[in-house]
Chain A
Amino acid sequence: PASNLGLEDIIRKALMGNLEE
């Protein structure tokens, strides 16, 4: 489902990035 894809996108981006920087 699209909603799950949205969630996965956010997770993948957040895993790669660093909010603290």
Chain B
Amino acid sequence: EITKEQQVLMQAILKAYERHQIPQDVAKRLLHDQYSAEENFLLLTEMATSQVQVLVEFTKNIPGFLSLDHEDQIALLKGSAVEAMFLRSAQVFNRKTPAGHTEVLEERIRKSGISEEFIKPMFNFYKSIGELLMSPEEQALLTAVTILTPDRPYVKDHAAVERLQEPMLEVLKKLCTLHHPHEPQYFARLLGRLTELRSLNHYHAEIITSWRVN
């Protein structure tokens, strides 16, 4: 059973998650089909910036986050931004979109100058997230858990971060049991995605390098 306290925590995170989305006008521009390689690159860069801003606004509303040391807040966001963005993109990608939209989006990513060997694991990840059929609560909590990972570089007060992450993991675990009573491995599968995200984060650093070379 989910306690009242856990309910409050979950609702606060869900509310923040749903309130902070990429602005519609920015998202819409992704679907305009005429663009040069340079325009594509600039738009994707702008999207990424917008995603980081949205991510920070969401994170500020995670109960307890702003009570952490300021430099630790930055270290956590810096260490998790790429992973949180991949999670959010996966959800956008798996959402039911009007016919053709997914293709336009996929085309853009493929034309971004990222080499195929990096794109493949990314789309595989999107697919594996889609297969989980997460509820909005699970998505929001998983993102919060990702951001509040204590072992990011430059985080000083690991214990303080752990104290925030632990209750979120507990609620997430309970939710998984309630939502997926016939899948005892569901929670473990969610955690497995976090490992996959770590690899993508590592890939991302290489993508940046290859982009610079290009």
Contacts and interface: CB of A to CB of B under 8 A. Distances in A.
A14 to B, nearest CB: 4
A8 B78 contact: yes
B115 to A, nearest CB: 17
B56 A14 contact: yes
A19 B57 contact: yes
Given A7-B81, A8-B78, A1 B208 contact: yes
A4 B153 CA distance: 13
Contacts of A15: 56, 60, 70, 73-74, 77
> Which size class do B's interface residues fall under?
10 to 19
Contacts of A4: 78
Contacts of B77: 11, 15
B74 A11 contact: yes
Interface residues of A, number: 12
B52 A20 contact: no
B177 to A, nearest CB: 35
A1 B77 CA distance: 17
A3 B52 contact: no
Contacts of A1: 208
B11 interface: no
B81 A19 contact: no
Contacts of B78: 4, 7-8, 11
Interface of A: 1, 3-4, 7-8, 10-12, 14-15, 19-20
Interface of B: 49, 52-54, 56-57, 60, 70, 73-74, 77-78, 81, 208
Given A8-B74, A10-B49, 5 more contacts: A8-B78, A10-B56, A11-B52, A15-B70, A15-B74
